[in-house]
Amino acid sequence: QQQESIYEKIGGTEKVRQLVEAFYPRVVADPLLKPLFPEDIGPVMEKQYMFLTQLLGGPSLYSDKYGLPMLRARHMPFPITPERAQAWLACMEQALDETGISGEERDAIWGRLVIAAHHMVNKSPSEE
């Protein structure tokens, strides 16, 4: 019997969309994060929707279009300090609340995102 993915458990495409739509308004309202992002956040939202879909066990939308994620490398042009990783995670925590993702699924998603966010850090605070 096939195991249901987190993606399916939370409600699939609809829920991932809602999460992304709750997340980016917070990112661009955050004084530490805003300067890193383009004026037009739409394309970033679309990529994140595709990436999170596959991260959570849905269709491999991101890799089908962009190839290997190599997210740390793709983030190297941006100065990501530990403070920025914390700010990113704070936005995501609120977005998970707003989207009503709870229980085991939330814990599983949160655990992966905490690891991913720390992995993205590429500048120490003093190098900023």
Chain residues binding ligand HEM by CB under 6 A are 33, 36-38, 44, 47-48, 51, 66, 71, 74-75, 78, 80, 84-85, 88, 113, 116-117, 120
Q: Is 118 annotated as a binding residue?
A: yes
> To 10 degrees, what angle do helices 12-29 and 42-55 make?
130
Residue 126 tokens read as: 């003093």
CA distance 116 to 128: 21
Task: Using the minimum distance from each CB to ligand HEM, give the nearer residue, 8 or 116.
Answer: 116
Task: Using the minimum distance from each CB to ligand HEM, give the nearer residue, 12 or 45.
Answer: 45
Q: Shortest distance, CB of residue 4 to ligand HEM, whole angstroms?
A: 21
Task: Using the minimum distance from each CB to ligand HEM, give the nearer residue, 42 or 100.
Answer: 42
Cα–chain center distance at 67: 18
Neighbours of 85 (CB within 10 A): 19
Q: Which residues are annotated as a binding site for heme?
A: 118
